[in-house]
Amino acid sequence: MKRSRTQLRRRSAYLYILPWLIGFAVFRLLPMLWSFVCGFTDMNLFRGVRQTGLMNYTEIFADSTVLRAVGRTMLFACVSVPLKLTAAMLAALLLARQMRGIRVFRTLYYLPSILGGSVAAAVLWKAMFRDQGMVNAILTALHLPAVSWLGEPHAAMWVLILLRVWEFGSPMLLFLAALRQIPQDLLDAADIDGAGAVRRFFRIKLPMISPVVFYNLMLSFCAALQEFSAPFVITDGGPRGATTLLSLLLYRSAFTANEMGYASALAWVLFLISAACSAAFLLLRKKLVYLPDEQDAGGAA
* Model pLDDT for residues 94-106, shown as the tens digit of each residue: 888 777 777 787 7
Q: What is the pLDDT of residue 301?
A: 44
pLDDT at 268 over 90: yes
Please return the burial class of 128, using the count of CB atoms within 10 Å of its CB with bins 0-12, 13-18 and 19+: middle
For 154-206, write each residue's pLDDT tens digit.
Answer: 899 999 999 999 888 889 989 999 998 998 888 888 888 888 888 999 989 99
The answer to whether the CB of 40 falls within 8 A of the CB of 53 is yes
Average pLDDT along the chain: 88
Instruction: Check whether 221 has a pLDDT greater than 60.
Output: yes
**Cβ atoms < 10 Å from Cβ of 187:** 15
CA distances from 237 to 40, 223, 243 (A): 27, 18, 5
Mean pLDDT of 37-60: 91
Residue 67: is its pLDDT beyond 50? yes
Q: What is the percent of the chain where pLDDT is above 90? A: 60
Q: pLDDT-derived band of residue 300, with 50, 70 and 90 as boundaries?
A: very low
Question: Residue 31's closest CA among 278, 250, 228, 260?
Answer: 260
Contact 57, 265 (CB under 8 A): yes
Q: Which residues contact 84 (CB under 8 A, 6 or more apart)?
A: 164, 165, 167, 168, 171, 220
The predicted model gives 112-118 an average pLDDT of 68
For residue 43, the tally of other CB atoms under 10 A from its CB is: 22
Looking at the structure, give the CATH architecture of the domain made up of residues 39-300: Orthogonal Bundle (1.10)
CA angle, residues 45, 47, 53, in degrees to nearest 5: 90
Which of residues 297 and 64 earns the better pLDDT score?
64
Residue 6: pLDDT band by 50, 70, 90 thresholds? Answer: confident
The residue type at 23: G
pLDDT of residue 105: 75
291 band by pLDDT with thresholds 50, 70 and 90: confident
CA 227 remoteness from chain centre? 8
Every domain of the chain and the residues it spans: 1-32, 39-300
Entry pTM: 0.88
What is the mean pLDDT of the segment spanning 211-240? 93
Question: Given a cut of 60, is residue 295 above it in pLDDT?
Answer: no
Least confident of 5-14, 27-36, 109-118, 208-217: 109-118
Q: Is the pLDDT of residue 71 over 90?
A: yes
- φ, ψ for residue 228 (rounded to 5)? -135, -50
135, amino acid identity: V
Residue 293 — pLDDT band, cuts 50, 70, 90? low
Confidence of residue 297 (pLDDT cuts 50, 70, 90): very low
Q: How confident is the model at residue 264 (pLDDT cuts 50, 70, 90)?
A: very high
**270 or 191, higher pLDDT:** 270
Per-residue exposure over 160-182, b if at least 16 CB sit within 10 Å of its own CB, e if not:
bbbbbbbbbbbbbbbbbebbeeb
Phi and psi of 73, rounded to 5°?
Answer: -65, -45
Burial of 99 from C-beta contacts in 10 A (0-12 / 13-18 / 19+)? exposed
pLDDT (0 to 100) of residue 2: 57
Please give the helix or strand (H or E) that residue 135 lies within, else none: helix 134-141
